[in-house]
Structures are given as C-alpha cells and as structure tokens.
A and B are shown apart, each in its own frame.
Chain A
Amino acid sequence: MTIDDTVLDRHGVTREEYQRILEMLGREPSLTELGIFSVMWSEHCSYKSSRVHLKTLPTTGTRVLQGPGENAGAVDIGDGLAAVFKIESHNHPSFIEPYQGAATGVGGIIRDIFTMGARPIALLNSLRFGPLEDPLVRRTFEGVVAGIAGYGNSIGIPTVGGEIGFDESYTGNPLVNVFCLGIARADEIIKGVASGTGNAVYYVGAKTGRDGIHGATMASAEFDEKTEEKRPAVQVGDPFMEKLLLEACLDVIKSDALIGIQDMGAAGLTCSTCEMGSRGGAGIEIDVSLVPQRETGMTPYEIMLSESQERMLLVVKQGRESEVERIFEKWDLHAVRIGQVTTGGRMKVRNRGDLVADIPTTALTDEAPVYRRPMEKPAYLAEAQKLSLAALGAPSSPSEVFARLLATPEIASKRWVYRQYDHMVRTNTLVFPGMGAGVVRVKGTGRALALSVDCNARFVYLDPRAGAQLAVAEASRNVACAGGLPIGATNCLNFANPQRPEIMWQFGQAVEGMGAACRALDLPITGGNVSLYNETDGRGILPTPVLGVVGLIEDATKVVRRVFQSDGDVVILLGENHNELGGSEYLKVMHGLIRGLPPALDLAREAALQRVLVEGAAKGLIRSAHDCAEGGLAVTLAECCFDTDLGAETDVAAVPAEGSFGDIATLFGESASRVVVSVAANRTAELIALASAAGVPATPIGRVGGDRIRMSIAGRRVIDEPLRDAERIWSTAIDRHFEPKRAIA
C-alpha cells in the first residue's frame, strides 16, 4: 500500500509529522512503521499538546521516590515502604461500551501499579455523567459502575472512595478516571527499562487479538456520527487473567530476576517495547510471529497495534529465564520469549525473521512532536463570570433549597454506587466510602493512608486557573480532614479539543493554577494522565482536571471520619464564610446556571488550615471533620449528621450579601478553606488555641445532639428538619432513578 493523504488521515498523522518521519527514517516508512508512529505520536501516548505545560508542575520533594515518566509515581511513607499511585482515564472506551470500557480502565491502572513491584491495595474513581433523567445516561452510569465493580471486586482490590459529578456537557462524553495505589518496598521498585544486550524479552498474559487497534489514536480524536465506522473491536477485560498476572508478576519481581517490566496498555506491544528500550538507552528486537495470538491471520501491523488487555512485557536477566518461566507456570501462565535487548537503540520488529519495522526508539518517545498550541481566552468567560443575584428574583426559602440540594445526585449519597464496590477486601479499609476520604491502613506499620480524588469542574469552567487551585485544595483538604498529611498527588486532566485555542487556554491556565497550588501546599505531582478531545459534535465537556491526593496518617488509630461522634460535642467551623455563590450547586440546581466567579482561595490560609487539621487529628482533639464543598455549610452540617443518630443545633453569623440573598449565601455559598469539625466540650479551648496559633479562624457554632438538623443565622432559625426526613431525601436520590417501575399486572 502506498502512503497517501487518505492513509495519513486515517492514522491521524499530519503532513508535517509525516515529513518528520521521512527525515528520521531517511526513507519511506512501511505501513507497519506508519502505524507504530501514529500510535506513539498520538496525543494519548506522546502528550504532544500538553507536554510543554506539564513540565511546569512541581514534581520533586523529599519524599518523592519516583516522579513522572515511569508507569506510576512513588513516595516514601516510612519503614522503607513506598506508596505507588497514579490515576488514568478511560473516557472514550467507556462511552462506546460502558461496562467493558470502565472495567478495562480499572485493569489498566492496576497493571501500572503492580508493574512497579507494588501490591495494589486501594482503588478510587472519579466519574462524570450527563443528567440521570436521560435514559441513555442511566444506562452508561449503570454500565460504568458495574464495570468498575466487576473488575475491581473480582481481582480483590477494594474501591475505597471516589466522586461523581453530573452535567449536560458529559452526556456524550462521560469521564471515567480510576486511581490506584499500591505498596512496595522502596528498594524493590522496578522500572520499565530494557538494558543489557542479549537479555531476553518475554511476553506474558492474554493472547493478542484484534481488539482496540487504534485505541490510542481514537482516544485522541473526537466523536462524531462517523465514529461508528472507526470503532475498533471493543476490548474485553479478563480480571481473572489479571489476578493471575498480578500474583505471578509480584512473585517474579521479588525473585530479582528481572531487568524491567512494563504492561501493554495504550498502543500495546509497540508502546511497551519502544518505551522500555528508550528508557534503558538500548535497542530491542522482537519477532511478532512468536507472539501468542487469539485470532488467525493477524498481520504484524495488527499485532503491534493491538490493545488486547492483560499482557506484560518483561526483560529477564541472562541465566534466570527458566526460573521466571517456572514462576509463571505455577499460575498457569506461559511466558514466551519473543526477542532480546540489542545495542544501537533501535526497535526492530521481525515477522518470521523478515524485518518489518526498524525505528530508533527515541524517535517514538523523546523525539515525538511537541506542540505549543495557540491559546486564547474563550469568549464565553466574560459573560459567564458576571452574576447578578438581583436578576434572579426572590430566592426560595432556605428549607426548600435545602431539600432540593439534598436530592440532587451531585450531593446525594453515592451509596447506590459504592455498595456495588467491594470496599473491604484485604481488611485494610479504616474509612469506608461515604465517610470522607478513603483510608487504608498499611499492615505491618502503625500507619494509614488517606486518599481523595476531587474536582469541581464548574469552578474550572468559570476560571480555569482558580478552579484548578480549588481542586488541589479540596483533594488535599479532604485527606487532611481524615488526619492525613498530604504527601503526593497525581492528576487526570480531562479537556476538550486542544486544537481549539480557547480549550488550550483552559488547559494552560488550569495547569498553571495546579502548579501554583501544589507548590504552596508542598504537594509534588508524581504522575498523571491527560485526556483530550472529550467532545462530541463540537460540544466539549466542562474542563475537568481531577486531582488525586495521598495523605499519610502516622497513627492509624487516630483516623477522623466525616460524621459526628457523640451527643454534646461542640461543633466548630474552621475558616470563614464569605458572600460567594458563584459556580455554586445552588445556582445550578435552583436557577440552572453556571455563573459568577468561583470562591476565592488564599493558599497560605489553606495550608494553615490543613496543618491544623492534621495536628488536631494527631492530638486526638478532632472527633469528626467534614469539608464544606457542594451545597455549602448547610449541606455539610447535614452530612455530618447523616449515617448517625445525632442531629445538631447550630447558629452562624450572617454574611452581608446582595439583596435578599443573605441567608442563601450564608447557608449554601461554597467559600473555600472551611471545615466543620466536632470536638469534645472539654477540649474546645485546646482546638481553638491550636487554630488561632496557626491564624485559622475557629468559631464554635453549636452542639451535636437531638434528632433534628437545626440551623439559625444570628438567632433566627432558618432550617429545622427531622434528621431522618432529610437523610431519606439524601440517601435515596440516586436509587430513585433506578427503581424498576413494575407494570401493573
């Protein structure tokens, strides 16, 4: 086949990129080579639009053992142990086939973790969907949740937390971001490198089929009505195979017989071979005819580009081959030698001996194109940032707003979801989903890790720079609430088409904001993932940079949960209320608006607040802590009561606000850096002293107790609901969408 414009278009390779390929090879590529270039130079694998921006993020710190560039990042958690973690998106596949797309997303991120020699011990997920009123959205939602459950449960890794958001913009572009964390001995972390001429290259795991060919390029293209034709064979996950691979690989890694190991994720065999070679400064030579195949008549092109799941590539130390083979045999897996490490830094692919591709590995990795795409402030911003409350008419009563907000899926209990996730397997989970940041203990140490993934995309839409900072602050505040000192972060940057300058501007601003916030909070980013082209028919998603933060709890017995603990405890608000309704859930739910400016964030104050939380937890002062997020103070106070038998009576000061919106802003405004904590009455002074020493406002606002949720503003009672009634609304709002409507017999 001659390579013409049609062929290039089908591969998503631009004319300029093709010129570079010609120069790098000094000849025309074969079709197999073009395929290899196209997947490695795709947005998904090369980060060509995002790389220049990502370089600005802080990635180092005293605890960082592995920054970006490997399969996952790693931070030191003491006792010679490392927390290895990363987040990955599987948005496009989950839109095409929700169950399998989400399942294979879980499978992929788990491989990234055990590839580093870490035993995965926790999963979280961050999801976005269109409104649940839409039956197709419900089907996607159900499928995604079942897929995450189906894979995570059977492999036996608990899903300990997550978040879910809803907005029209995700209807045709759901987001499925999965975070995984594992524990490794710090000195046993293994990397994805190939080195040592003559060392054998092994393939192990599932056989290769035609699934997902061009998955990486697809993940880098938007959807339109023609996508149907581009549909690759959908990848089907096999968690059973992955469980065997996980155990076998951890055994093999412990045996010290490996030089390097990498999973075959996006761009499959192609990506794993050239990345391992490039990292090790070596060449690699494989023969595709030796690759175990599930289907007949597969071409070298197909074998190299297949994205069949549950496959690993290993480089084995010379002389240790049979030992490695034996370990895999125990798990009924056959490790197959498909090539060896060579000198010369080239990736050579043969088919029954014939050379079918011969490319310098660095041409596919370090020297892949990098774009500094044009950025332009979007036109929508100036208008969207304007908010006139007066124009909205008179607000509804606080109790009506309260009930409406509790019933919105964004705020409502996510029990319907996490009940389907095994969140207890491995018996490490100290804080279950729904109780705040997920917390897992690290057996054999007295420590625990608090984990949270967060992003308020409305804030990012209204001001990408500030919104990204708020996402960093929220995720790390959530782990601090549990008593965790934030020590490392990972991000998943979900945006629309980067070739639109206004999207690229959103991206650039968000990365800048994220970097600034991470620096201020001393939070290195050790890895992450970028998902671009999240748009359908030209309609993009809200910019959604999701942050995953890991917090270290030195004493696992001092973990703090969301809910009030005892009758008579004092309720204290850390932080201050401001007149801030911009981007709030209130505006979205009550007025259908995403408008205004997101809440202001003072990073120094945020850092101080988080220090108070961590210290207050370590001292055993704080009995419960819950961050004020969507729905503001009123919803936060209610959530402190839900799942307990304890109501609360509180009174807060009014914030001065435009017209009749005073109460609304006080109760439902989403000002940043606020946490509701409860403290034993006799230790209140101690906490207040701790807070004021750190310059954090701490205001006693009431008492835990009774069977009602009562809130007053400066002596005026504005909300007074029976706890059980409010809880019923909140706990059934998602279930309601899925109850079978039985036909009348």
Chain B
Amino acid sequence: MKFAVVVFPGSNCDHDAYYAAKHVLGQDAEFVWHKDSSLGGADVVILPGGFAHGDYLRTGAIARFSPVMRAVKAFAESGGPVLGICNGFQVLLEAGLLPGAMLRNRSVKFQCEHVHIRVEQTDTPFTAACRPGQVLRIPIAHGEGNYYAEPDVIERLEKNRQVVFRYVTAAGAVKPEANPNGSASNIAGLCNERRNVVGLMPHPERACELAVGSADGLVLFESVLKAVTQGAFLGAEASPKATVTAR
C-alpha cells in the first residue's frame, strides 16, 4: 500500500508521517510537493502537520490554493482516504473538505503535551482497527486547535456521527478539564459525510513507538491499511487509486 505525504512549504511533520508509514508500518510512502498536480498513484493521502506558509494570515489559509489541493479534492471525492493531521486538518477546513474553522487555543498559547482522545466512530478508514470508545494517549502540538462551528453545524456533525475523536480524561470521560484548547464539544477530530476524509489536531504519527512516549497512534495507520486492503469505509466506490490528476 502506498501513502502520499503532501509537502507544503512550511510543513514540518512531513518526515514524521513518512517515517511512521514507511518505517514503522512498513508500507510504501512518497512525498508529494505542493506544486505537483498528481498524487502518484497513492492509496492514502496524508496532509501533515507543520506551519504551511508560516501559518501567516490563518492556519491553512494559503495552502488551500496549492495546485496539489485540486488532486486531493478529486481523490477525496472519489472516496480515497485522506488524513489531515494538525496543520493538515486546518488545511482541510480552509479548503472546505471538512466543515468548521480553528480559533486560537483558549490559553492563547502554543501547547505541546500528551492528551487523551476517545475514538467515537470506528467506521472510518482511519479508525477501522480501533475498538469503539478506545482511549488513545497521543500528543498535541498546536496554537490554534480550538475547533469552532456554528451550533447547527455541530448538531449536524453529531447527528451524522462525524465526530471521530474527542478529548477525554485518561478514564475516557468527556470533561471540560480534559479539553486542552477549548474546542466545541471537546472535538479533537472529525470526518466528512462520506467518512473517507478525516482530520484531527493530535499527532498520531508522533505516537507510533513506545520509545518516543506512546504507540497509541499507530492504530490509525493500521486502520487505513486494513481499510484499503479490505476496501472498506472508502465512501461509495471502493478503493480508488489516486490516479486522479487535476486538470
């Protein structure tokens, strides 16, 4: 299976995502430069963390205009699994592939620390190998992870079961004190209606080996491996190859 890791100018977790896919999971992985218009036949696309275009103006605001985003959109529309991590999540929001927007953390400070998130949905390509309600210990590292959407949008997200990850206590309870950044309904990650595009603020790629503090994030990578090899949870048409090239 092949991962495409998109590199925007200013991406800085691109190597980490690549390393997790290639060296921990043992799959194929390739970097795709943001000016490329093709995803090179990948089965999964990762928009990694970092500070695309310095995060100047707004996180993800400029990156959404990169040529590669047309290919990512087309890939997503054909049901391909797309994962946005941290900055990648912010890009997905700005690009309209996921609903809502990010505000500054409630603390107004950058926060880097391990948090607990609960897997709310297991019928997405990135949670297919999780147990329902599984609590993962995964780091966050962001200054703008305070997820916001209008109340009716949040309601719709809940109704459609699009909230995929929520910040919780170590015991798995949704509590205000478990919410590191003030995000609405403790939302840490969500998916689109079709469920093949997932974005989350925590960094699963930083939690793939015990040596670096936690291996809980690996399950997201294992999930997509399972989903792609079994052709599950990829939207309507099963397992499209990322051969879609933008015009």
Contacts and interface: CB of A to CB of B under 8 A. Distances in A.
A238 B9 CA distance: 13
Contacts of A428: 212
Contact of B54 (A238, A432, A557): A238
A424 B9 contact: no
B141 A153 contact: yes
A419 B111 contact: yes
A421 B205 CA distance: 18
A425 interface: yes
A240 interface: yes
A441 B211 contact: yes
B137 to A, nearest CB: 13
Contacts of A156: 12-13, 50-51
Interface string B199-216: 000010110110111000
Given A153-B141, A238-B54, A420-B112, A427 B10 contact: no
Contact of B212 (A238, A244, A420, A424): A424
A420 B142 CA distance: 9
A424 B203 contact: yes
Contact residues on B (Cβ < 8 Å of other chain), bracket? 20 to 34
Contact of B113 (A244, A419, A429): A419
Interface string B34-67: 0000000000000001110111100000000000
A156 B11 CA distance: 8
B47 to A, nearest CB: 15
Contacts of A45: none
A597 B53 CA distance: 53
Nearest to A416: B109
Contacts of B56: 240
A418 B141 CA distance: 11
Contacts, number: 88
A154 B50 CA distance: 7
Contacts of A17: none
Contacts of B54: 154, 238-241, 243
B12 A425 contact: yes
A430 B206 CA distance: 12
B148 interface: no
A331 B9 contact: yes
A443 interface: yes
B16 interface: yes
Given A238-B54, A425-B141, A420 B110 contact: yes
B110 A424 contact: no
User: Taking each of A331, A427, A556, A557, which has the highest tally of chain B beta carbons within 10 Å of its own beta carbon?
Assistant: A427
Given A243-B51, A420-B109, A425 B13 contact: yes
A251 interface: no
A128 interface: no
Contact of B55 (A154, A426, A441, A556): A154
Q: How large is the interface on A (under 10, 10 to 19, 20 to 34, 35 or more residues)?
A: 20 to 34
Interface string A305-336: 00000000000000000000000001110000
Interface string B163-204: 000000000000000000000000000000000000000010
Given A156-B50, A243-B9, A432 B19 contact: no
B54 to A, nearest CB: 3
Contacts of B211: 430, 441, 556-557
B226 interface: no
A146 B111 CA distance: 11
Interface in B105-120: 109-113
B15 interface: yes
B139 interface: yes
Given A331-B9, A427-B212, A429-B212, A422 B19 contact: no
Contact of A424 (B10, B15, B213): B213
B168 to A, nearest CB: 20
A149 interface: yes
Contacts of A421: 110, 112
B19 A427 contact: yes
Interface string A235-252: 000111101100000000
A240 B110 CA distance: 17
A106 to B, nearest CB: 14
B140 to A, nearest CB: 10
Considering residues A146, A150, A420, A424, which has the most beta carbons from chain B within 10 angstroms of its beta carbon? A424
A155 interface: yes
A149 B107 CA distance: 15
A423 interface: yes
A737 to B, nearest CB: 14
A432 B10 contact: no
Contacts of A240: 9-10, 51, 53-54, 56
B108 to A, nearest CB: 10
Contacts of B206: 424-425, 427
Given A240-B56, A243-B10, A443-B19, A423 B212 contact: no
Contacts of A441: 211
Nearest to A330: B33
B24 to A, nearest CB: 9
Contacts of B205: 427
Contact of A154 (B16, B51, B208, B213): B51
Nearest to A158: B112
Interface of B: 9-10, 12-13, 15-16, 19-20, 33, 49-51, 53-56, 109-113, 139, 141, 143, 203, 205-206, 208-209, 211-213
Given A154-B54, A427-B209, 12 more contacts: A149-B110, A154-B12, A156-B51, A238-B54, A240-B51, A243-B9, A244-B10, A419-B112, A425-B12, A426-B16, A427-B205, A429-B213
27 contacts: A149-B110, A153-B51, A153-B110, A153-B143, A154-B12, A154-B50, A239-B51, A240-B51, A241-B54, A243-B9, A418-B112, A419-B109, A420-B110, A420-B111, A422-B110, A424-B213, A425-B16, A425-B206, A427-B19, A427-B20, A427-B205, A427-B208, A427-B212, A428-B212, A429-B212, A432-B213, A557-B211
Query: Which 8 residue pairs spanning A and B have beta carbons closest together?
Result: A156-B12, A240-B54, A154-B51, A422-B141, A427-B16, A422-B112, A420-B110, A424-B206
